[in-house]
Amino acid sequence: MTNAPQPLLQIEGLRAGVGGREILRGLDLEIAAGEIHALMGPNGSGKSTLSNVLMGHPDYEVGAGRVRLAGEDLLELSPEERARRGLFLAFQYPVAIPGVSVVQFLKAAVEAVRGRESVRAAAFLRELRETAAFLEIGEIFLNRPINEGFSGGEKKRMEILQMLMLRPRMVVLDETDSGLDIDALKVVARGVQRIAGPSAGVLVITHYERILNHIPPHRVHILLEGRIARSGGPELVAELERRGYDWLREPSAAPSG
Partner 1 sequence: MPELPSDNKLIRDYAHGFVTPVEEEVVPPGLNEDIIRLISRKKEEPDWLLEFRLRAFRAWQRKTEPRWALVTYPPIDYQAIRYYAAPRSLSAGQAVDPEIARTFERLGIPLDERRRLEGVAVDAVFDSVSVATTHQKILEEHGIVFCSFSEAVRRVPDLVRQYLGSVVPPGDNFFAALNSAVFSDGSFCYIPAGVRCPLELSTYFRINAAGTGQFERTLLIADRDSHVSYLEGCTAPIRDENQLHAAVVELVALEGATIKYSTVQNWYPGDEQGRGGIYNFVTKRGDCRGARSRISWTQVEVGSAITWKYPSCLLRGDDSVGEFYSVAFTNRKMQADTGTKMIHVGRRTRSTIVSKGISAGESVNTYRGLVQIHPAAERARNHSQCDSLLIGDRCTANTFPVVESDNPTAVLEHEATTSRISEDQLFYLQSRGVDPETARSLIVNGFCREVFKQLPMEFAVEAVKLLEIKMEGSIG
Amino acid at 16: A
Q: How far apart are CA 40 and CA 69, in angstroms?
A: 21
Phi-psi region of 44 (alpha: psi -120 to 50; beta: other; left: phi over 0): left
| Selected range binding partner 1 among 6-14, 103-111, 183-191, 242-250, rule: CB under 8 A | 103-111
108 binds partner 1 (CB under 8 A): yes
| Selected range binding partner 1 among 41-49, 73-81, 121-129, 199-207, rule: CB under 8 A | 73-81
Q: Please state the closest distance from residue 70 (CB atom) to partner 1, in A.
A: 16
Q: Please state the closest distance from residue 162 (CB atom) to partner 1, in A.
A: 6
Alpha helices in the chain (DSSP H): 47-55, 79-84, 102-114, 121-134, 152-166, 182-195, 210-214, 235-243, 246-249
**Angle 152-166/102-114 helices, nearest 10 degrees?**
30
> Which strands, in side-by-side order, build the sheet including 9-18?
21-31, 9-18, 60-69, 72-73
152 binds partner 1 (CB under 8 A): no
Q: Please state the closest distance from residue 183 (CB atom) to partner 1, in A.
A: 26
Q: Are 40 and 224 in contact (CB under 8 A)?
A: no
Q: How far apart are CA 36 and CA 33, in angstroms?
A: 9
Q: Cβ closer to partner 1: 91 or 124?
A: 91
Residue from the set 15, 47, 82, 230 that interacts with partner 1 by CB under 8 A: 82
Give the total of residues touching partner 1 (CB under 8 A): 28
77 binds partner 1 (CB under 8 A): no
19 binds partner 1 (CB under 8 A): no
Buried residues in 50-60 as b, exposed as e (16+ CB within 10 A): bbbbbbbeeeb
User: HSE (CB half, 13 Å, CA atoms) of 13?
Assistant: 4
119 binds partner 1 (CB under 8 A): no
| Selected range binding partner 1 among 37-45, 54-62, 177-185, 203-211, rule: CB under 8 A | 54-62
Q: Please state the closest distance from residue 216 (CB atom) to partner 1, in A.
A: 27
Q: Please state the closest distance from residue 174 (CB atom) to partner 1, in A.
A: 11
57 binds partner 1 (CB under 8 A): yes
> Interface with partner 1 by CB under 8 A: which residues?
55-59, 78-80, 82-84, 89, 91, 94-95, 97-100, 104-105, 108-109, 112-113, 145, 162, 166
